[in-house]
Amino acid sequence: MSNNELLRQVEEKARLWLSPFYDEATRNDVQRMLTKEDKTELIDSFYKDLEFGTGGLRGVMGAGTNRMNIYTVGAATQGLSEYLKKCFVHLPEIKVAIGHDCRNNSRLFAETCAGIFAANGIRALLFEDLRPTPEMSYAIREYGCQSGIILTASHNPPEYNGYKAYWDDGAQLVAPHDEAIIELVRSMQHESVKFNGPKELITPLGEETDLKFIERVKTVSLSPELVKKYHDLKIVYTPIHGTGVKIVPMALRAFGFTNIINVPEQDIVSGNFPTVVSPNPEEPAAMKMAIEKAIEVNADVVMATDPDSDRLGVATRNLKGEFVIINGNQTALLFIYYIITKMNENGALKGNEFIVKTIVSTELITEIAKKNKVGYYDVYTGFKYIAEVIRENEGIRKYIGGGEESFGFLPADFVRDKDAVSSIAMMAEIVVWAMSKGKTLYELLLDIYLEYGFSREKTISITRKGQSGAAEIQQMMTQFRTNPPREIGGAAVQWLKDYEMLVQTNLITGESTPIAQKTTSNVLQFFTTGGTKISIRPSGTEPKIKFYFEVHDTLKSYGDLDTLEATIDSRIDAMVTELGL
């Protein structure tokens, strides 16, 4: 399509938004874009429809078909409403839980969705104020809802917002419901959306739900006696302006911790995230103020949550006494190691337990499960796949933990999504468990490496925005799929796993075998004879393509750590260059 033809189509779509159906502010914004000489904003806002994908909606806020606004959110909600009425026609009442984070327009979108559900005869259980994603997931099961939604863009920059949809098990949508709803939403016209339903079908959720949720969070504790002994552990916690501001300290106190130190500037709830560039606990800059506070008060551990409190960040002192951020793979390792070891100590492992990790997460998690005779599953990136495994094993096997490299963990199945509220409380417990053994959290991590082998990971994210960026990302995937490297880092590439084709190929012998996954995913993985794993995956929620590097080696002692890390970092840097990144 020529640029002139694209612009003509975009302008035609945009002019439809000048009709009286759309509110005055929206019409004015569209008119501004139409008359602006530079058409970049107009094209990005209208060149496509914001796609309701398997992860829901996520995009920049503003007017346009490719933007988050009450009309695109409304179409998604109308489509979901119609699907719920088809699936649960036998019920006297259909219920949906609705939550939202701190982002600009999140409350507006949540109230808009509640009105649409009500207009469709569906009872909307609307949280009275911002609440964490895991609490919304919990509420679905607690109140017997058939679905749930949360308005959040997780850790994205301030200009973004998002919409995640859940099913009656408290988990994000999976097949067959996801594709069926996607088709309904794609065919939905904005004019078909029923806004402003009866207020009597909107029920507020408040403190009573918080208290119920916290009671369940308390059940994940495995060492209450140690928490009692070390109750004054110095914990610095920051919600980074988000939903954890009240509920996370409540959870820590419910566990028994009494010395929780906040970062006042970041306790201010704001969708502008005034103290950070990005509210992502994976980013050192987002943790900077909390670490400075920890140094000031001589704290034992630093913890943070992203805006919707599903991801957690953890910082602890290294062997030199400096605070360092534990990455997502290391966090998951600590959780899985602690849960399995402590359950063993307590005589609680019965032989039917299992853990779940994602395919891009460290393989050391699998080694811990294998050695302790605990079942394990590898799933695609996204907690909905972890939740799907939990549902399939319900009543048969016992879920004891699952996580992914992107700072998400779920220690118990009363929530069916990443749960930083429960996870932070458990991580504080792990710190005191290590203390009881004369160890720091960092030394406990190194002990895992000494026992199970050393692994170092690095993720490279390449951002390409707009229409041209999406095409470039697709071209990169095509190139790696059709012309895979035969050698990386001085070692032969033995296996190519293509999850879009569900085929794994031995590049040395040419042998191909099926991959045992129920659905496809646009992910490639290379495994070398030297034990390196490289995963390539376009993000489903951001204009990014991610490269995950995992390199294995042997750590013989604490004293070898710096040299080993530097050596592996050099090897990863060389691989990045080899791949042309």
Dihedrals φ, ψ of 534, to 5°? Answer: -125, 125
C-alpha distances out from residue 142 to 125, 197, 286, 538, Å = 12, 24, 33, 35
Residue 544 region by backbone torsions, left for phi larger than 0, else alpha for psi between -120 and 50, else beta: beta
> Could you give the CA distance from residue 461 to residue 458 in angstroms, rounded to a whole number?
10
> Could you give the CA distance from residue 6 to residue 9 in angstroms, rounded to a whole number?
5
The yes-or-no answer on residue 154 being catalytic is yes
> Could you give the CA distance from residue 80 to residue 70 in angstroms, rounded to a whole number?
15
Put the strands of the sheet holding 353-358 in their side by side order: 375-379, 353-358, 398-404, 408-410
DSSP code for 373: T
Catalytic residue among 154, 309, 406, 455: 154
Q: In sequence order, what are the residues at sequence separation of 6 or more whose Cβ sits closer than 8 angstroms to the Cβ of residue 558?
A: 319, 443, 446
Q: In sequence order, what are the residues at sequence separation of 6 or more whose Cβ sits closer than 8 angstroms to the Cβ of residue 557?
A: 450
Q: How buried is 278 (Cβ within 10 angstroms: 0-12 exposed, 13-18 middle, 19+ buried)?
A: middle
- Helices then strands, counting H and E runs in the chain, come out as 18, 23
Q: In sequence order, what are the residues at sequence separation of 6 or more whose Cβ sits closer than 8 angstroms to the Cβ of residue 529?
A: 491, 492, 494
The closest alpha carbon to 152, from 102, 202, 82, 83, belongs to 102
H or E element at residue 479: helix 466-482
Q: Respond yes or no on whether the N-terminal peptide bond of residue 176 is cis (omega within 30° of 0).
A: yes
> Could you give the CA distance from residue 289 to residue 293 in angstroms, rounded to a whole number?
6
3-class secondary structure per residue, 330-368? HHHHHHHHHHHHHHHHCCCCCCCEEEEEECCCCCHHHHH
> Could you give the CA distance from residue 547 to residue 549 in angstroms, rounded to a whole number?
6
> Could you give the CA distance from residue 125 to residue 151 in angstroms, rounded to a whole number?
14
Q: In sequence order, what are the residues at sequence separation of 6 or more whose Cβ sits closer than 8 angstroms to the Cβ of residue 394?
A: 413
| Active site positions, annotated | 154
